[in-house]
Amino acid sequence: MQFLAAFVTLAAFTAVVVASPVAKDATSASIVSDAEMAHWIATTDAELTFVGELPNPLAKRSAQTTTVTFCTKSVGPICGGTCTVYTGGATCLDTLGTACISATKDVGFCDESECNGDCSALSQCGTTMASGFCATPNTKSILVSPL
């Protein structure tokens, strides 16, 4: 009987440890996994426009592919409105009217078009939002890195 009680206690403790989510590093709160991005795309009520390739983490060279979602509205911690989802390699995206961004890899966001002006890294997001987004008011372009 004591063995059974000890086993049940150990099993319960193991289940809690295994099932406990790991907190994300605060410096990369707006960099999400492919699965997190796919979940947001599947469940959002935002109006979506897809540019580039369709997100597919199983595609050849997917390690060199970045998915960036940028939207026109933010209300409190929620990012939405009209959103564009870019999936592809290195480029500079002109994104006039962007209020918030999320990406599967670190990207730069700039306050001038053609990736000029003052730029910041998404990994250094100053104001994190729900679902892995970062508040980026006045963003006019996004620099997607090849790495």
The phi and psi torsions of 114 (rounded to 5 degrees) equal: 60, 30
∠ CA 101-106-55 to the nearest 5 degrees? 70
* pTM, rounded to two decimals: 0.76
Supply φ then ψ for residue 76, to 5 degrees.
60, -125
Q: What is the pLDDT of residues 110-137, one digit of tens each?
A: 999 999 999 999 999 999 999 999 999 9
The secondary structure element, H or E, covering residue 10 is helix 2-19
pLDDT tens per residue, range 90-109: 999 999 999 999 999 999 99
Residue 119 near residue 108, CB atoms below 8 Å: yes
Closest of 132, 147, 144, 146 to residue 37, by C-alpha? 132
